[in-house]
Amino acid sequence: GQQLNQSPQSMFIQEGEDVSMNCTSSSIFNTWLWYKQDPGEGPVLLIALYKAGELTSNGRLTAQFGITRKDSFLNISASIPSDVGIYFCAGQLEEYGNKLVFGAGTILRVKS
């Protein structure tokens, strides 16, 4: 079953707004990954995090690996319409070797 809690489940954005989402778990992770999926396509890797406390940016995206190794967040600054899609966090569990576990996803939609 799922071992990652991703929130929020969905959110509406207005162009120019900052967006924040996070993943938490009761388990310790070696790696945190953030992906974006467009409809009908495979997820695309946005950011990879490998060390507790690590803060990494990719353009308007910033993600952090929590100090406790049990959580991570992703921020999107100054959102644009093409940011809509589904964002997934994924983690490599310490006790499961290379097995990747995915969160349920955060659906980003545009306010009309």
Partner 1 sequence: DGGITQSPKYLFRKEGQNVTLSCEQNLNHDAMYWYRQDPGQGLRLIYYSQIVNDFQKGDIAEGYSVSREKKESFPLTVTSAQKNPTAFYLCASSIASRGRTEAFFGQGTRLTVV
Q: How many helices (H) and strands (E) does the chain have?
A: 0, 11
For partner 1, the closer of residues 5 and 77 by Cβ is 5
For partner 1, the binding residue among 16, 41, 59, 112 (CB under 8 A) is 41
Which residue, 19 or 90, is less far from partner 1 as judged by CB? Answer: 90
Distance CA 29, CA 25 (A): 9
Q: Greatest CA span in the chain, whole angstroms?
A: 44
Q: Which two tokens stand for residue 18?
A: 């900052």
Among the listed residues 44, 67, 78, 80, the single contact to partner 1 using CB under 8 A = 44
Check binding of 12 to partner 1 (CB under 8 A).
Answer: no
Which one of 14, 16, 26, 40 is in contact with partner 1 (CB under 8 A)?
A: 40
CA distance 104 to 97: 21
Question: Cβ 42 to partner 1, closest distance in Å?
Answer: 3
For residue 85, state whether it binds partner 1 (rule: CB under 8 A): no
Judged by CB under 8 A, which of 5, 17, 24, 48 binds partner 1? 48
Candidate residues 22, 43, 64, 74; the one interacting with partner 1 per rule CB under 8 A: 43
Which of 33-44 are b and which e, b meaning 16 or more Cβ less than 10 Å from the residue's Cβ?
A: bbbbeeeeeebe
